[in-house]
Structure formats: C-alpha cells, structure tokens
Structure 1
Amino acid sequence: MGLFNRGVVVPVLRFSGAIGMAAPLRPGLSIATLAGPIEKAFSMSRAKSVAVVINSPGGSPVQSSLLFRRLRQLADEKGKKIYVFCEDVAASGGYYLAVAGDEIYADASSIVGSIGVISASFGLDRAIEKLGISRRVYTAGTNKGALDPFQPEKAEDIERLKAIQRTVHDVFIGVVKDRRLGRIKGPDTEVFSGAFWSAPEALELGLIDGISDVRTKMREIHGPNVRLRVVAAERGLFSRMRKLPSVLGGLGSDAHQGLAFADDLVSAVEIRALWSRFGL
C-alpha cells in the first residue's frame, strides 16, 4: 500500500544568479544553460504543477525574455500550471522570469519588483587626461564609438541609449500587464518606476499572489505526501575545472590568461554590483 501513498512528484526549477552574466566557476542564467532542465521539468511528472524558485537581481533583458517564453510555451503545450517562489530577490529580470508563473509567492522578507531598465558605466576621459594619456580611436561608421567611456559624453549618444531603454522598458511593462492582468492594483507611475518593494508591499500592489514557500504551497495543493524533485542544470567536474586556469591565472599564455582573468574579474564585479543594489 505504501507505494500508492507516496504522493505526486512536483518538479522544481531553481533559477539562482544574475541573468546572462557568468562569474568564474558559475554560469549565468541563460537559455543555453537552462533549456535542458526546463524541458525535463515539464516532462518528468504527470503532476499538473511545476515549481520555479527564483533568486535573481536581474541582468540581460534578452535572456530574461527567452527564458520567460520557454517556460510559457512548455506550460501551454503540457497543460501545466507554473508556481513561482521568490527567495531573497526577484527583481528586474528576476521579476520578468517570475511573471511566467500563473501564481507568484514570496517570503515576507523577499525583495520584489524593479520593473525598469538601467545602464551604468564610468566616465574616464578626465582621468586619462590627468595622466597624460591620449585616446586614439579609429572607426568606420560615425556612431561606432558611441558612449566610449574614455571620450566625453555626447547628447545624441545619450538620447539614442535612452530611446533603446524606453523600448525595452515598454516590452517589460507589456509582459507584466499581460501576465498580471486584473491583479495589478497600483498606479503605473509607481509600479513601473523601477522601484522595488518588500513582499508585503508587492502583495498590496498585486505583483505577487501571497506570502508562502515552495514546500508549504505544494503541500496545500497536492497534499502532505507531495514530493519535490529539483531539476538542476548539469555542472560536471570537467566543465568546472576547465575554468580554473583563467581564475588562477597561472597556466598557458600569460597574455591570454591575463585577459581571461581580467574578464572574470569584471564579470564578478558587475554581478556583485547587481546584488548590492538590493542590499545583498
């Protein structure tokens, strides 16, 4: 009799990290790394639910959109309902992923929202001038050097960037309005301002559906015998070891390893900056 009382299996997808940004020894969230686990999650069980746990400060809008669409396509094809659970943060692209869910839940201390678009850089033109360094840039195409941090800003370059940001923001807003139709309670000027909120505030604004966690909610829906099975992206030992030379900077061509190390360092700093925006 025990075999017949084990309960249904609910696949759990965990999306943790920056979207489209890879740090040393840790691939970022992207369609390339997650397409396999997503497909498996929607095929491995007869349960009508798939749980998605999100802990992400955002990142690439394109990868956010691709992952969102893959989740919705498979949910529609398989006739399954997606339940999303926000952990520390589901903000910006992380919230874009969250609205793939038919229902969204969060911990009382979760940070949710940041429905906006940001681009950050540094202006280094004065610094190199003080150091007596001249910048030499040669391009084919009058706008090829736009927003070069070593050159003074140009008003037309800034306006072009802002136009792109407005387009991306409008797409984001459209997705949220479509997925949260009838549930958004706050004014557009507040909800889509790029601000972020604690889970209770997000609940009042209609950005989430309740305060709960994956185990509690799945037990409410499927009974106390429900089994949660995490579907993880494959991270073999070889793929992790392959990154070690660039992290340690001690093997192969010095120039190549130096560039690889610098690239890894910049990626790590950018990812750290994303998390730090939310006090994490």
Structure 2
Amino acid sequence: MADEWKAPTEGNEEAKSWRLLEKVLLSSVQEQRRARRWGIFFKLLTFAYLFVALAVFSPRFDFQGAAGSGDAHTALIEITGMIADKEQASADNVVTALRRAFEDSRTKGVVLRINSPGGSPVQSGYIYDEIRRLRGEHPDIKVYAVITDLGASGAYYIASAADAIYADKASLVGSIGVTAAGFGFVGTMEKLGVDRRVYTAGEHKAFLDPFQPAKEDEVRFWQQVLETTHRQFIDSVKKGRGERLKDAEHPELFSGLVWSGEQALELGLIDGLGSASSVARDVVGAKDLVDFTIQESPFDRFAKRLGAGVAAHLSLLMGLQGPSLH
C-alpha cells in the first residue's frame, strides 16, 4: 500500500516540476521578445536621429522653404575666407546659392557679402561668369557686392561682376594682381648632404620642384603664365566696371595694391559706402535678408581638417600650387 501511495505523489511532483520549467521557459521567451522589440525600437530611433541630423546639417538642406513668406526679400550670399575648391567659398557652393536665390520668386535683389583675401583664379572666374549669366537671364534682379573687412584679389574679381559694389570706408579693396609662391631648399639639401633624385619624361616636368635650382628659362615661362592670368583678371574687371573706373590707365590701379573703401570710391573701384542691411533696405527696397549661403556639414569640416586642409597647406609650402589671386 505504501508503494501505491508514493507513486501518485512522485507523479504530482514531476508534473509540478514540468509546469514550473514551462513557466520559466515561457517567461524567458517573452523576455527575449520584449528585449528584441526594444532593441528594434532604439535602433529605429537612432536611425531617425541620424537621418534628421544629416538632413539638417547637410549643405543641400533647403532652409528657405520653411522660413520663406509671401513678402519680397533680399537674398544674401556669404563669400567668406579662401576662394578655392572644397572650401566654404568654392565655386560649387557660391554658384548653387546664386541659382537658388534667382529661382526664388520672392527674391527682389541679391547681396554678395564678401570678406575674403581671394584665392583660385579658376574658382573666381566660374563665379564671375555665373553672376553675369544670371544677370542676363534675370534682368529685373540686381546683384550687389558688399565688401566688409576685405575684398581683395579673387574676391574683388567676383565683386566686379555685380551691378554695383559697396564697402565700408575702412574696408580693404583691390589687390588686382596674381601671385605664386614657394620655397627653395637647394642650399639646405647641400648642407645636409642629401641628393635629390628626380626622374621625368619631359624636359620641364619638374620645373616647380623646390629642391632643384631654378632655371632662367623656366622662371621666364612661369612669369608669362602669371602675366597672362593677370591680364585676364584686368580684362574682367574692366568689363565688369566699365566706365565707372575713374582712370582705367592709372599706373597703380592694377599693380596689386590694396585701397581703403574711401580711396576705392574715388578710383571707381566701388560705387558707394554701405553694409548688407543698408543696401537691402535703401537700394534693393526689401529690408528682409534671407540667407541662401550653402553651409558646410560637420562631416565636411571634419574631413577637411583631417585631410584636404593639410594637403593644401603642404602643397603651398612645397611650391606645388598654381597661380593665386591674393
């Protein structure tokens, strides 16, 4: 009888154990499902955050659509710092901003607010040509260049394409010239006892090498390149400014000298004294300024700091860059 009594007890205990194990397994599965759902949720949340961040900080993000109203405005485009490829004031950025400004039906006028020492003649030329093209397509929208601290060389090249140029009386304007700078390390190499070995196909392929002595015929050739670029610069300024230049034959006007805003006004390099806001208010007649400047994303700035900026400065130091409008 004792054995008959114990058998059901053991069976009941075994059933309880299985039921407990089943509950534990079900609970574990439910917990895993819950964790998986939360994991998916947080992944989606992170993806959405990154997507919004990329959209907001991307230079292609259109801030104007949300900010615009039915009222006419003056489009503002900043040209700041070095004018060069991959820089904030590159032709790609400025031209894109110009096209967006002209395509906006509420744009009554465009102000280029300039604070730049110049840069690449190629990039400056691209912007100059686009300003003149857009002016031709949209004769009712005038372009005004406003120089703040500095509008020199390539920056003035760009400004000369505008309908009118304004500056402060103490602004620095002009520097209509071309430069190409580098260093020569020949003496240093000799003192260190280091031989420079360069193998080329082409007699003058290495004529900018700073570790080799300069040759007179190559120096003359390079000077011709600079003078050709300078002549192109002068022709563009004369074409843009026309008869407003008081003395186009002034011996120092195109010598590379820089002038104060007050002096520039007397020479006809600018048309008046004023700021971006005063030009928008008093000249354009639309006091509200809407910024169309293409902004760099944080990713672009980070990449530039790591690579492109360092490479550009190294090439300048090594004498490997072409002519610059500085």
Partner of 1:266: 314
- In structure 2, runs of 5+ residues without a counterpart are 1-68, 319-325
The partner residue of 1:236 within 294, 297, 302 is: 297
Residue identity over aligned pairs, in percent, reads 40
Partner of 1:8: 72
**Aligned equivalents of 1:237, 1:176: Cα separation in 2:** 36
The verdict on how the C-alpha distance between 1:78 and 1:164 changes in structure 2, with shifts beyond 3 A counting, is same
**Aligned equivalents of 2:90, 2:283: Cα separation in 1:** 30
Letter in 1 for 2:268: G
**Aligned equivalents of 1:198, 1:220: Cα separation in 2:** 23
The partner residue of 1:198 within 253, 260, 284 is: 260
Partner of 1:275: none
With normalisation by structure 2, the TM-score equals 0.71
- In structure 1, runs of 5+ residues without a counterpart are 248-259, 271-277
Partner of 1:55: 115
| Contact kept? 2:189, 2:195, Cα under 8 Å | yes
Residue 202 of structure 2 is aligned to residue 141 of structure 1: yes
The verdict on how the C-alpha distance between 1:264 and 1:147 changes in structure 2, with shifts beyond 3 A counting, is closer
Partner of 2:144: 83
Residue 160 of structure 2 is aligned to residue 99 of structure 1: yes
Partner of 1:250: none
Structure 1 residue 267: deviation in Å? 7.1
**Aligned equivalents of 1:110, 1:45: Cα separation in 2:** 33
Residue-pair matches, total: 249
The verdict on how the C-alpha distance between 1:16 and 1:226 changes in structure 2, with shifts beyond 3 A counting, is same
The verdict on how the C-alpha distance between 1:262 and 1:132 changes in structure 2, with shifts beyond 3 A counting, is farther
Highest Rg: 1 or 2? 2
Structure 1 residue 35: deviation in Å? 2.7
**Aligned equivalents of 1:261, 1:16: Cα separation in 2:** 16
As a proportion of its length, which structure holds more helix?
Answer: 2
| Contact kept? 2:101, 2:107, Cα under 8 Å | no
**Aligned equivalents of 2:219, 2:258: Cα separation in 1:** 25
| Contact kept? 1:42, 1:75, Cα under 8 Å | no
For residues 23-73 of structure 1, give each alpha carbon's deviation from its aligned partner in whole angstroms, at most 9, with x where no partner exists: xxxx24222233321210111144441111111101110111001111111
Letter in 2 for 1:19: I
The verdict on how the C-alpha distance between 1:129 and 1:168 changes in structure 2, with shifts beyond 3 A counting, is same
**Aligned equivalents of 1:145, 1:90: Cα separation in 2:** 34
Letter in 1 for 2:234: I
**Aligned equivalents of 2:222, 2:173: Cα separation in 1:** 26
